[in-house]
Chains A and B, each alone.
Chain A
Amino acid sequence: MSMSPSMALGAAAFVFAASAAWSAGISAPGAPERPLRSVASFEGIRNQAERSAALFTEAGKVIQSPRCLNCHPATRTPTQGDDMRQHVPLMVANDGNHGPKGLPCAACHGSDNARTFAAGIASVPGNAHWQLAPIEMAWQGLTLPQICAQLKDPRRNGSRSLDQIVTHMNTDHLVGWAWDPGEGRTKAPGTQKDFGALIEAWVKTGAHCPTA
């Protein structure tokens, strides 16, 4: 299988980022290859609104990772891979976000990741709640400040309170898939626990959005 230029570029960037993290002494055995900053490391920012926005910007490393963005597309068609190419085969969300009539997401995506026995693709991802995000929760094409505003808007966040957003990010199984995406896929940065802690701290500090 040939590698497209964008795939090659993405892979090179990832290798560079990983090796930079290693040389900076951030990684430890068993730790995520791309860690998230801890909540405590933001305590030096005295202004609470600025600290809140900085916490969200750090959490944005997860929110804007391909593992999350691929199923929060701008259109009703998912993307796939670290280069977020169009999903093959062509899929559409349909009204219920689970695929067109007769071809549900679950035709290929089971209740868990599944290994393959063929060359090229090591696993097909899966989760019991596999589905496309509703259109009002589209993230692709938005800036991080725009995503932040969307996340706080009950009309665009599934009518969730901020506390419910914290619980969702901390414990939801499909969110958690981003750190267990199956062989052959780059995990989201950090851990779900680290990510949840950032979101929780962001809410506690007033849920301020970054401006850029």
Chain B
Amino acid sequence: MKLKVNGKVHEIDSEPDTPLLWVLRDIIGLTGTKFGCGVALCGACTVHVGGEPRRSCILPVSMVGDADVLTIEAVGGTPVGKAVQDAWLKVEVVQCGYCQAGQIMQAAALLTANPAPDDGAIDRAMSGNICRCGTYPRIRAAIHAAAKQGAV
């Protein structure tokens, strides 16, 4: 099957129920997206499919169809993704970093849907992304900072 990832079309040979995450990491070699829990409970594997956030660990690759897949490797090429990554550096959000690819993809999805979220809107949209280092206050601050940049 064909899979469009970060603007490039890949010919994929895999079982239809193979999760998108496996295809991204093991077949295409894009290892920026992380495996966390495998059951859509932690958000570490978040990518965008057709512009919407999706937990790639439980998304069968056959369900992607011809939708564009966007991963952490290319999100900086969008204005929203660039603003989020800049804010992440400015606020120094990251501690261990394992969950952060998913956090950034989820934050970019939030700011795409809601360019000026308040604390409540941030909490509601980010509630499915777990950070064991507890960087939540800095994540929230960085999302506010990205929103203020106006690039979104």
Contact = CB atoms under 8 A, between A and B. Distances in A.
- Interface size bracket, A side: 20 to 34
A110 interface: yes
A114 B127 contact: no
Interface stretch (A30-38, A88-96, A134-142, A189-197): A88-96
* SS class, residues of chain B in contact with chain A: mixed
Contacts of B19: 117
Interface in B57-73: 57-60, 63
A24 interface: no
Of B58, B60, B128, chain A has the most CB atoms within 10 Å of the CB of B58
Interface string A102-128: 111011101110111110110010000
A104 B128 contact: no
Interface residues of B, number: 34
A112 B63 CA distance: 9
A158 interface: no
A92 B112 CA distance: 19
A101 B121 contact: yes
Contacts of B117: 101-102
B124 A118 contact: no
Contacts of A103: 53, 106, 109-110, 124-128
Contacts of B76: none
B58 A116 contact: yes
Interface stretch (B34-42, B90-98, B133-141): B34-42
A31 B26 CA distance: 42
A45 B139 CA distance: 63
A75 B22 CA distance: 37
18 contacts: A89-B41, A90-B127, A91-B128, A102-B111, A102-B112, A102-B114, A102-B121, A103-B124, A103-B125, A103-B127, A106-B54, A110-B60, A112-B63, A114-B63, A116-B38, A116-B58, A117-B19, A117-B22
